[in-house]
Structure 1
Amino acid sequence: MKPTPLDEYPIHQTPLPMARVASSDRNFYDRCYFNAHNGTDDFMLIAGAGIYPNLGVQDAFLLARSGDQQYAVRKSDALDTRPMSHQVGSFRVEVIEPLRQLRLINDSPDDVVQCDLVWTQSFPAVLEQPHQLIHRNRPTLDAQRFAQVGAWSGIVVLDGAERTLDPSTATGSRDRSWGVRPSGDAEPPGRNGDEPPADGFWWLYVPFRFETFAVIVIVQEDPDGFRTLNDATRVFADGRVEQLGWPRIEIDYRPGTRHPERCRLHLTTPKGEALVMEIETITGIALHIGGGYGGDSEWSHGQWQGRDFTKSTTYDLTDPDTASKTPWGVSDHVAVATCAGERGVGLFEHASLGRHDPTGFADYFSVAP
């Protein structure tokens, strides 16, 4: 092991070089995520990149939705030293000004999704509560994340068709997270093969941009409704952050499915005043259809694909095989909302898998009436 350029900076927190992480857990990761949309039509773009030092892997992906087509680009390569930025092949993220402005680029003419975009913050970043999941006394998720909403400018090319994003209408959120979460190839099942873990997973993540404030809500619940993560904040342009209590959530699912069509978030200000977000979804992307998230049958984040790996795929969402996979993972929905007399646009990220007592789902095959 040798020193790396990062070792020149006064940023160490352990008596280790920056190329070596403090944890020997194979699942240690460091990632970024972006979404972009207009809040009015069927277009959506999602991008992400991650490094996995203990697996020696780095990867990135782009997902885009237009009409009934979902486009996916994924890239992977070896990771030998800790980089100063995310770059995998033709995909890269440039930090123009930390916490204020970033550039997202994928300039390979062979990829089904290309872009050259600049994201500019609308409100300050919010450091979320720690994300944790404990299974049989072992942390399977132990991570920190910050989130932020902003506006986009630049060009996106989908399968040869160019689209311009204007910051007056194109918005989106981003996040940075690091820590431990399942990564790479699956571990041997061991005891879990005979005694599976919890029979359900329920997740809601709602970052929204309004005219004078942003709202960021995260809720994670066990099958019985026990809340393992509760974080609801409102952030203003001057940096003030309000906690918004213990959200009460009402989701209207499309009959015969678990597809969320509308949601009412009942929040509470520090003064005890009710604050309600009325949300309606527009379009969305299934993160496990080409994006490498849980439930993706083709790949997973941190999985070794070989050096200089790249692949483009186009999915027809009306194809029965693809459509049958859509419910079995996390989906990111473009959504509009009203709150405190203002109209907002943002992300409605949701997963409802298996049993969830508060919504009346008894098992993996339960759906809304």
Structure 2
Amino acid sequence: MTDRPIALDEYPVHQVPLSMRYVATGDRNAYDRCIFHVLDHSGRALLVAGLGVYPNTGVIDAYATLRLGDRLHAVRASDALTDDRLALTVGPLTITVDRPLERLRLHCAADPADPGGLSCDLVWHAAFPAVWEPHHTQYRGGRLVLEGRRFVQAGTCTGIIHAGGERLTVTAGEWTGTRDRSWGVRPMPGEDGGRAAEEARPEGFHWIWCPVRFDDRFVMVVVQEDADGHRTLNEALLVRNGTHDVQLGWPHADITYRPGTRHPERAVLHLTDPSRKPLELAAEILTSSPLAVGAGYPPADDWQHGTWRGRGWTDRRTYDLADPAARPRAAYGVTDHAARFTLDGRTGYGIFEHGSSGRHDPSGFTGYADVAPARSETPVSPEGRS
């Protein structure tokens, strides 16, 4: 490859003395990607879509999945990364930034060979300013394996989705859209982690990521805990247009799991406003989409982000989610749950993203095989609350 300037080098956006073709780290796990959630307020449909760039492995890839009933329709595409970093397109999937932080377009072209497959043409409109999440780091055996920065935003969507022979009209009053952008270093498959990976295996992982849109406010909660309940990531924010963001204390969660699983059916996030008034953000799960099925997140066994599939790779398939036992690996990954939320008399909609695997002492989970007890109606709390 000839080492010449690229188009982005014309602009005063450089952070290090390198061409914008390069990132500041030589870590193969460098990444830069986004995710969108588009959910129907009735719980009938949940679209998850994203695009990622992996500059040190030379890969760009994207995906879109739609949960509709018990079917998950998926489109995935991967290709060689080029120097045109403004072209956010891979195969049939394209993201267009019309106005940064305000309006974006999501497009998934139909497959001429399968007119009933997944396609969409959507416009995403921001309803609130984008906000930062805390700087995210994670170590294993003394090695920094994850360092990322992420902003998150809530809005509305309009447009059309086709799947399974159905046409879904997406309207601002009946659908909600959330999104995030993150970049940094994040583990990808295919690397020999050496002794650190072998002898410092994580005993457990507990995660809640929760962007919620109300008519007049946006609430963002993120929590990550280790097996013993030590919190490594924590934030709770209330965002309103034209005002300062308000921190909502140290969030605690009561989660009621479906008996025999770690699948949440409902949850309450206990927050606190600056006057120390307790607030309860309650979530009722409407429908769910496991990110290890179709969307390429670990521990997916058919495709994961950043993996080289050759030039011009596209894959379309439909998964049957009626039998969870058919995809047992999905239970060990993160699942995006479309949810209806209530807060201080208001009703809103958003995502209750949750993953709990391995030991988690505050929840009472003792290992990877442990699940919520059958016929238990007692909420399981990651912070020891019940």
1:143-292 matches, cutoff 5 A: 143-183=148-188, 185-192=189-196, 194-292=198-296
Amino acid in structure 2 at the alignment position of 1:298: D
Distance change >3 Å, CA 152–CA 256, structure 1 → 2: same
Residue in 2 aligned with 1:301?
305
Residue in 2 aligned with 1:51?
53
Give per-residue Cα distances to partners, 1:168-193, cap 9 Å, x unaligned.
1110210000000012x321242156
Residue in 1 aligned with 2:19?
17
- Contact 1:53–1:82 (CA under 8 A) maintained in structure 2: no
- Contact 2:43–2:338 (CA under 8 A) maintained in structure 1: no
Residue in 1 aligned with 2:380?
none
Residue in 1 aligned with 2:379?
none
In 2, the alpha carbon distance for the partners of 1:150 and 1:206 equals 14
In 1, the alpha carbon distance for the partners of 2:85 and 2:193 equals 33
Using the size of structure 2 for normalisation, the TM-score is 0.93
**Equivalent pairs: percent with the same residue?**
47
Give per-residue Cα distances to partners, 1:266-324, cap 9 Å, x unaligned.
11112222111111101010000121101100111000000000000111112465343
Q: Give the match's secondary structure for 2:303.
A: coil
Q: 2:369 aligned with 1:336, yes or no?
A: no
Q: 2:352 aligned with 1:348, yes or no?
A: yes
In 2, the alpha carbon distance for the partners of 1:27 and 1:278 equals 36
- Contact 2:141–2:197 (CA under 8 A) maintained in structure 1: no
Q: CA deviation at 1:332?
A: 0.3
Q: Give the match's secondary structure for 1:71.
A: strand
Amino acid in structure 2 at the alignment position of 1:335: A
Q: Give the match's secondary structure for 1:275.
A: strand
Residue in 1 aligned with 2:9?
7
In 2, the alpha carbon distance for the partners of 1:82 and 1:322 equals 40
Distance change >3 Å, CA 42–CA 323, structure 1 → 2: farther
In 2, the alpha carbon distance for the partners of 1:248 and 1:299 equals 34
In 2, the alpha carbon distance for the partners of 1:44 and 1:260 equals 17
In 2, the alpha carbon distance for the partners of 1:8 and 1:346 equals 39
In 1, the alpha carbon distance for the partners of 2:41 and 2:286 equals 8
Q: Any gaps of 5 or more consecutive residues in structure 2?
A: 374-386
In 2, the alpha carbon distance for the partners of 1:322 and 1:166 equals 34
In 2, the alpha carbon distance for the partners of 1:121 and 1:222 equals 33
- Contact 2:134–2:235 (CA under 8 A) maintained in structure 1: yes
Stretch of structure 1 that moved more, 82-91 or 302-311:
82-91
Amino acid in structure 2 at the alignment position of 1:271: S
Residue in 1 aligned with 2:136?
131
Q: Give the match's secondary structure for 1:115.
A: strand
Distance change >3 Å, CA 46–CA 353, structure 1 → 2: same
Q: 2:108 aligned with 1:103, yes or no?
A: no
Residue in 1 aligned with 2:36?
34
Amino acid in structure 2 at the alignment position of 1:144: R
Count of matched residue positions in the alignment of Structure 1 and Structure 2: 368
Distance change >3 Å, CA 320–CA 169, structure 1 → 2: closer
In 1, the alpha carbon distance for the partners of 2:249 and 2:323 equals 42
Q: CA deviation at 1:159?
A: 3.0
- Contact 2:143–2:196 (CA under 8 A) maintained in structure 1: no
Backbone CA RMSD of aligned residues: 1.3
Amino acid in structure 2 at the alignment position of 1:304: W
Stretch of structure 1 that moved more, 321-330 or 254-263:
321-330
Q: Give the match's secondary structure for 2:331.
A: coil
Using the size of structure 1 for normalisation, the TM-score is 0.97
Distance change >3 Å, CA 82–CA 353, structure 1 → 2: farther
Q: CA deviation at 1:161?
A: 1.9
Q: Any gaps of 5 or more consecutive residues in structure 1?
A: none
Give per-residue Cα distances to partners, 1:319-354, cap 9 Å, x unaligned.
465343331211000101110111111100000011
Distance change >3 Å, CA 165–CA 49, structure 1 → 2: same
Residue in 1 aligned with 2:75?
73
Distance change >3 Å, CA 335–CA 357, structure 1 → 2: same
